[in-house]
Structure 1
Amino acid sequence: MSDSWWSSIEGEQLAQGDLLADCSVPIVVDPTPSAGEDEAKEVEVVSQRLIIVTQSCDLENGKVQFVALCPIHTLDEFAEANAHYKSPKNWEGVRKGQKASLHMLASPEAPEDNTKSLVVDFGHILSLPIEYLTAHAATLGGRSRLQPPFLEHFSQAFARFFMRVGLPSSIAPFK
């Protein structure tokens, strides 16, 4: 396997496919709807590893105030929270792209070792202010950026997750 999945970068410039460690993510503690508009809600801030899904051209041209990101986990981390994935055989469908909400990427540290792969959860999308992310990126030192053609494959998988259409019926099978 080629080790060209990722490049190492530094600085505040952001691009689609950037892996950002230790991002502060607000989580609403009590998701019950408020009775009044001005009612305060308790928010917990957690640290997560995220990958940018916003298009690079939108980031470069200042077209977004908020950046779309998805959590990215090691296989072990994801399996800990999702019992179905504790069995290695269940990862094969993800690797093949058969699970629309998940996308597997090679590890930046050991791309040849599939047990070190990372999984992106497209079913959990969040956005954070671009000002926060650029400042945070500058403090990280080195970080990983997904490279072509793996970046385009990742972007296409993200798009496929959203463009799915369920039909109420279909054409009968040919016999």
Structure 2
Amino acid sequence: MIRVNRSKGSRICQGDIFRDVDLIESVHESNGRLKISKIAFPLAIVLTQDCDLAQDYTDRFSRRQVSNQDKRLFSVLVAPLYNIEHFYNGEHLSELGMKMQTVNKKKTQGDFLHNNQTPRYHYLKFGDDVPIVDSVIDFKHYFSVSVEYLKKKKNGKDWVCKVSDLFREDICQRFAAFLSRIGLPDPPRPKLEKK
């Protein structure tokens, strides 16, 4: 079970979970009008390293004069949390018109998911005191949002909780391992001989 911290704090932290996080899918201009397409995820977790977030915060809000702003971040990496029941049924992205692979929770595939033995996914079981259903992170579905955007969310009512240090480290280590995997090409197909 994932342990969480309910102390909000003043800065964005690795492991923070926010409500209603928008991904800007595209921006198009036509005849002087902007069309912005966005996807709103009900929950998302911050994956950016905490030391980078702390340095960014200090750089932005320190009263001491600094000679440069090389610690500032442009954006923060986040990943959506998907409701595990929707995930099992492959329906977690159905509102985007996408049908995903189903997972039988009673078979080996489901056991691997629950035990975090599938490198692409991270299963999160929250306690009864946390207002989040059991969820899964798909490490292929990460995106960035601006620091200012998340700062406004942290100061507003969209901050839910923060995953405790040990658990957030596990999530981020698994995310880093997934991203650094070696992509192997498909093996060549054997050539058929002509008769």
Shorter-chain TM-score bucket reads 0.7 to 0.9
Q: TM-score, normalised by structure 1?
A: 0.74
**Structure 1 residues 134 and 142, CA gap change in structure 2 (3 angstroms):** closer
**Aligned alpha-carbon RMSD (Å):** 3.1
Gaps of 5+ in 2: 29-33, 57-71, 93-99, 186-195
Pairs within 5 Å for 1:47-126: 47-62=41-56, 63-79=72-88, 80-81=91-92, 82-85=100-103, 87-89=105-107, 90-109=109-128, 116-126=133-143
Gaps of 5+ in 1: 31-39, 169-175
Q: TM-score, normalised by structure 2?
A: 0.68
Q: Residues 7 and 146 of structure 1 are in contact (CA less than 8 Å); yes or no, is this contact kept in structure 2?
A: yes
Percent identity at matched positions?
Answer: 26
Secondary structure of the equivalent of 2:43?
Answer: strand
Partner of 1:20: 18
Cα distance, 1:103 vs structure 2? 0.6
Task: Tell which has more relative contact order, 1 or 2 (C-alpha 8 A, sep 6+).
Answer: 1
Q: For 2:128 and 2:25, how far apart are their aligned partners in 1?
A: 30
Deviations 1:98-124 (A, max 9, x none): 32211112215368xxxx422111101
Q: For 2:154 and 2:4, how far apart are their aligned partners in 1?
A: 16
Q: Does 1:165 align with 2:163?
A: no
**Structure 1 residues 160 and 45, CA gap change in structure 2 (3 angstroms):** closer
